[in-house]
A and B are shown apart, each in its own frame.
Chain A
Amino acid sequence: MDYIVVTEDLAKNYGGSDVVSQVNLHVPKGRVYGLLGRNGAGKTTVMKMMLNLVKPTRGRILLFGKDNGTDPREIYHKIGSIIESPGFYDNLTAYDNLRLLQCLRGKKDTRSIIDVLETVNLSKETKKPFSDYSLGMKQRLGIAAAIIHEPELLILDEPINGLDPIGISIIRSLLIKLSRERGTTILISSHALNEIEQIADVIGVMQNGNLIEEVDMEKLRQRMRIYTRFAVSDTAKAAGIIKARFPDFACSVEDENYLLMNTKPAANSVINKTLVEGGVGVTEIAICEETLEAYFAELIGGGKIA
């Protein structure tokens, strides 16, 4: 498989302690790589090292097969990025900020600026300076700046922070379109696990500066459990009946009223009948799929991502 980004034993040390250590990350060409981890896990530092904002203490980064320090001019033309909240010049409008960035890239084409502002729905804000923008508008301008030069690789750190649901939906569609139609490789980190779940092809999980898991989303989906949730009148009694009559089905109690079981959907009617005959009231049966959030929480040993 072709990899656009590869890190080899990447490490960063601040004040004697490693904030990133021994990270070997592989971002396949043309795919969306979701980088997950709690705050302080080292995701942003890894991305900053890829963008030459922070120098690695050890290890190396290969972008497009080349060491990122060898030919920055050639490599960084192909990359678009957002790191945390986007930074622009307060006194300039969206158009002028983008014109400035294009100018620094040595490009004078203004059509692409107008097009990209339309894409992120900022084309009507012609006179408002950046300082007057809302958080969502700033984020959309950041995305515009990242994609204006049609990069082959997008490195996006929390790109949907501050966006409203419609804004998130627009950006999600845009990223999927870029990946599927243009073959843009995307490395994205986000706290919104459901968003990552919808767009990522590969997942990397970081914890305490280490990459503890790197897995294809398809394989992960196969691994994720499908289970049935029964809402019952008496969970203790129901659990006893299940253990006695269906010893092969794992069963656990959730809250006061729910029983979770690893069953095949076809078996649910039999279980339902058995429970009712045993004097347990069943008010709801739902087939559930384990979420990325549950997988993530299990992987890092409990706790949520925030």
Chain B
Amino acid sequence: MLNLVYCEILKLKNAKMVGLSVMGAMAVPVMMFLEAIQVHFEHPEQVFALADIYDDSLLYVMLLVNTMVYVAVTAYLFSREYEEKTLKTILPLPVLRVKLLFGKFITLFLWTVVLSVVSWGGILIFSGCYSVVFGLEGFELSVILQWLVCFVAGGILVFLTISPYAYLAEKTKGIVAPMIVVAVMVMGNAALCNQKFGALYPWVSTYLLMKGELAGSGYPVWLSLGLVVMLSIFGYAATFSYFLREDLK
């Protein structure tokens, strides 16, 4: 299996998608930095805390910007074999189809976690710059590490909810349909992130879980998490089932 993951990573050599996804993951840190500077000049008396910046950015990372980046990565990983017509070269090799898909999902998992760390690191770097120039409260190792864990955990939770996009990319053999669907879903995220009903919307409930607000939503935590798990299993099952049965016309 390690060999297959290595092969998936080798496929990404010189791929523009790698750079684009890193730029996408850096969008939130840049936005947060620009917002902090704007607020500083409008309200010089206001002093930010590092934890507040991380806390505010979690919404963008888990529900808006990074979600779209993760789905773009998913669609790229699962549709490129169709778009570049490489399946007819790869499938006659003595490798099981199920292992090829496992290799892709593991690579997606690693990519998602790395991008979450990139966003975390970007915020850290920009906050460091801000701290040097304007001052920042709570710029401490314990806070930094606490939010590293939070971002990685958030990335893993988002990874669980994007498996249906892998199926969609496979089924439509392209990146367009998943991107249209995620744009709609992100609007749903924005609408429901402040609603109690969001606890039943798997893409929002993971965010509420990381914020520690899931229990306060009024819905049973097991129900919210159960929906996340069911969505994830549906995505995997549909992706594997389709790929294993598919005829390459």
Contact = CB atoms under 8 A, between A and B. Distances in A.
A96 B10 contact: yes
B11 A53 contact: no
Interface residues of B, number: 28
A76 to B, nearest CB: 4
A84 B4 CA distance: 26
Interface string B220-249: 000000000000000000000000000111
Given A72-B94, A76-B94, A104-B95, A54 B89 contact: no
Interface string A260-292: 000000000000000000000000000000000
Contact of A54 (B80, B84, B93, B249): B249
Contact of B10 (A52, A73, A99): A99
Interface string A73-100: 1111101010111111111100010011
Contact of A103 (B10, B14, B96): B10
A96 B13 contact: yes
Interface string B1-38: 00110110011111110000000000000000000000
A76 B13 contact: no
Contacts of A105: 93-95
Contacts of B11: 89, 92, 100
Nearest to B8: A100
A91 B248 contact: no
Nearest to B88: A83
Interface in A17-71: 48, 51-55
In this complex, which of A75, A91, A92, A103 has the most chain B Cβ atoms within 10 angstroms of its Cβ?
A: A91
A87 B6 contact: no
A87 to B, nearest CB: 3
Contact of B247 (A53, A73, A81): A53
B91 interface: yes
B13 A52 contact: no
B19 to A, nearest CB: 11
Contacts of A103: 3, 6-7, 10
A81 B92 contact: yes
Given A53-B248, A91-B14, 16 more contacts: A48-B247, A52-B91, A53-B88, A53-B92, A54-B249, A55-B247, A72-B96, A76-B94, A84-B88, A87-B88, A89-B11, A89-B84, A91-B16, A92-B14, A104-B7, A104-B93
16 contacts: A14-B249, A48-B88, A53-B247, A74-B94, A76-B92, A87-B87, A87-B88, A88-B86, A89-B11, A89-B80, A89-B84, A91-B12, A104-B90, A106-B3, A142-B89, A145-B89
